Structure 1
Amino acid sequence: MTQRMMTGRELSQLGQASTRMASAQEQMTTGKKLSRPSDGPADTTVALKARAGVDQQAQFTRNANDGQAWLQTIDSALQGANTQITRAYTLALQGANTATNGQTAENALADEIDQIKQGLLATANSQYLGRPVFGGTTAGGSAFAQVGVTDASGNPVLDADGNQVQQVQYVGDGGSVSRRVGADTVVRVDSDGQSVFGSTADGTSIFDALDKLSAALRSSDSDGIQAGIQAMQDARTRISGAAADEGARMNQITAASNVASDNTLALKTVQSNVEDIDIAEATINLETQTTAYNAALAAISKTSQQSLLDYLA
C-alpha cells in the first residue's frame, strides 16, 4: 500500500470520527436524537404523528375548557332563575289569600311579580363572551326582548295608562352551539331558551305566566292566581330538567377533557422516547467518539511525521 493510499484512508477515517463526534456533541447540546429526518426516518415518522396527536388533543382540551365555561354560565343562570321563580311561587301563594290580604297588599305582590319578571328577563339573556347562552346561534346579544304588542291591524295595544303593552318574545334562533371535545365526541354547550323558559310564540312562557299572575293579583282573580301557582310549579320543574341536562353535558365534557389529558401524556411519552436522548448514554457516546477522534488524529499525526530515511531503514 502506498503512502498516499495510507494517508487517504487515515484522513477518511479521521473525517468519519469527526462526523460521529460532531453528531454526539449535537445530541448533547440539543437534547434530541432527531434533529433532521435523516437522523432516523422511521423514528421521524413516529415523532411527527405523535406531535400531530399532541396538537389535536390540545385543541380538544381548549374546546372542552370553552364548553365548560358556556355550561357554567348556564348553570349560574338556571340557579338564579330557579330562585326568582320560587319567589314568584311564594308570592302567588300569599296572593291566594285574597279575602284577607286586601287590594293594597295584592297590588304590592303584583309589583314584586313585575320586578321578578324583569330580573328573570335579564337572567334569560345571560351571555358568555357577548353571546346569549339561551339564544342559539343568533348574532344578536339577546335571547329574549320586550316588544310592543299590536292588534290584527298593526295598531299598538295600550294599557290603562295609555302606554303600549309590552310582551317578551324570543329573538334567538333554533340553532345550537357545540364543541368537539374528542375524536368522536361533540357536546352541545348552549341551551334552547324556549325549552327552558317556555314558548313565547304560543303564550306559554314563564314571562307570559308572570304577566297573567300580576294581572290576576291586581284584579283579585282567585282562579287566575291559582293558575299562576300551577304555572310557577311547572316552570320550576322545567328549570330543574334543564339543570339536570346541563349537569349531564358538563360531566360528558369533563370526562372528555380527562381523556384528552391522558392521551396527551401518552403521546408526549412516545414523542420523548423517539426524540429525546438518554443523558447517561449520550454522555458515554460523546466520550467514546471524542476518544476515537483523538486517537485517529494522533495516528495520522505520526504518519505525517515520517521522512525518506524512515522508508530506507
Structure 2
Amino acid sequence: MRVTQSMLASNSLKNLSKSYANMGKYQDQLATGKKISRPSDDPVVAIKGMFYRTNLTEVEQYKRNLTEAYTWMENSEAGIEQATQVVQRIRELVVQAKNDTNSPDDLKAIGVEISQLKEDLVGVANTQVAGRYIFNGTQTKNPPIIKDEEGNLDFSKMVTNSYNVEVSKGVQLKVNTNGSNVFGEDLFRNLEQIEASLLDGEGSFENGDGALQELDGHINSILAERSELGARYNRLELVDSRLGDQEVIANRILSDNEDADIEKVITDLTIQESIHRASLAVGSRIIQPTLIDFLR
C-alpha cells in the first residue's frame, strides 16, 4: 500500500489527539481526585461505586434512625425516673399519714399533696416528644390518659403495643415502654382511694398497710419496666458501635474504588507530557516541506 504525505499527517494528528485526551484524563483526575468522571470511563468502577454508595447510604439512614431511637429511650427513661420519684414520695406521705398523731388538717394537707402528685403523674404519662406521645405505643397522636372537665381520667385510649425502629438491616428494636406498667389505671385508682380517704374529713386514715402494699407493687412494676428499657438501651449502644464501624469500612471501600492515587496520577501526567512533546517533535519531522515552502 502506498503511504502518502497526507496519510502521515492524518495519523500524526490522530495520535496527537489521543495524547491530548490522555493528558485531559489525568488532569481531570488531579482536579477531582476521582478515577472516573463518567461511567463510560470505567464501567466496572462505576457499577461498584453505585453498590458501595448504596451500602453507605443505608448505614447513614440507620444512624439517623438511631438518633430517633435514642430520643425515645432517653425521654422514656426520664419519664420513668420522674414517675418513680413521684410514687416513692406518695409512699412516704402514706407512711406519714399512718401516724396516729396526725390531725384532720394534717391528713387533708397530705391528701392535697398526693392529689397534686397524681396530676403530675398524668402529665408525665402524656409526655410528648416532637409532637408524639411516647407512652402510648403506636398511637402516638393520642394521649394515653384523657382528663375531662370534671377531673375524671379515661384510660380507654391507652395501648401497649410496641413502637419499633429499624436500627440495622432486618433488625427492628422496640424503643417505647409499656405505659400500663408505669401509668396503669390500677395505680391511679389506688391513688384516688388514698386521696379520698385522706380528704374525707373524718380525721383518720384506714387501710394504710394495704395502700403501702399496693404502692410497693406499683413501684416494683415501674422498676421492672425501667430495667427492661435499660437492657434495650445497652443493645442500642452496641448497634450504634457496629454501625460506626460499618460506616468507616464503607467509606474506606468507596474511597479505594473511586478515589484516584494522586501520586500515581501526577507521575502518569508527567510521563504523558513527555510523550506528547516527543510526539510533537516526531510529527514535525514526519511532515516534510512541500513545493510551496520553496516558492518565495
TM-score (norm 1): 0.86
1:41 counterpart residue number:
43
1:222 counterpart residue number:
206
Give 1:141 deviation, angstroms: 4.7
Q: Distance in 2 between matches of 1:104 and 1:119?
A: 23
1:81 counterpart residue number:
83
Q: Distance in 2 between matches of 1:250 and 1:173?
A: 22
Please give the residue correspondences for 1:72-151 in structure 2 after superposition, counting only pairs within 5 Å: 72-97=74-99, 99-138=100-139, 140-147=141-148
Secondary structure of the residue aligned to 1:101 is coil
Please say if 1:207 is aligned against 2:188: yes
Give 1:236 deviation, angstroms: 1.1
2:173 counterpart residue number:
187
Give 1:283 deviation, angstroms: 0.5
Q: 1:167 to 1:143 in 2, by over 3 A?
A: closer
Q: Distance in 2 between matches of 1:125 and 1:262?
A: 37
Q: Distance in 1 between matches of 2:269 and 2:233?
A: 52
Please give the residue correspondences for 1:203-282 in structure 2 after superposition, counting only pairs within 5 Å: 204=186, 206-218=187-199, 219=202, 220-223=204-207, 225-282=208-265
Q: 1:303 to 1:221 in 2, by over 3 A?
A: same
Please say if 1:196 is aligned against 2:182: yes
Q: Distance in 2 between matches of 1:165 and 1:122?
A: 13
Give 1:178 deviation, angstroms: 1.3
Q: Distance in 1 between matches of 2:152 and 2:247?
A: 53
Q: Distance in 2 between matches of 1:251 and 1:139?
A: 24
Alignment check: 8 A CA contact 1:130 1:141 kept? no
Alignment check: 8 A CA contact 2:181 2:222 kept? no
Give 1:127 deviation, angstroms: 1.1
Q: Distance in 1 between matches of 2:44 and 2:178?
A: 50
Alignment check: 8 A CA contact 2:66 2:167 kept? yes
Q: Distance in 1 between matches of 2:164 and 2:292?
A: 89
Give 1:279 deviation, angstroms: 1.1
TM-score (norm 2): 0.91
Aligned residues: 288
Give 1:168 deviation, angstroms: 4.6
Unaligned runs of 5+ in 1: 149-163
Please give the residue correspondences for 1:16-27 in structure 2 after superposition, counting only pairs within 5 Å: 16-27=18-29
1:302 counterpart residue number:
285
Unaligned runs of 5+ in 2: none
Secondary structure of the residue aligned to 1:83 is helix
Q: Distance in 2 between matches of 1:175 and 1:293?
A: 72
CA RMSD of superposed structures (Å): 2.0
Secondary structure of the residue aligned to 2:162 is coil
Q: Distance in 2 between matches of 1:124 and 1:137?
A: 15
Q: 1:304 to 1:84 in 2, by over 3 A?
A: same
Alignment check: 8 A CA contact 2:34 2:258 kept? yes
Q: Distance in 2 between matches of 1:307 and 1:79?
A: 98
Alignment check: 8 A CA contact 2:142 2:157 kept? no
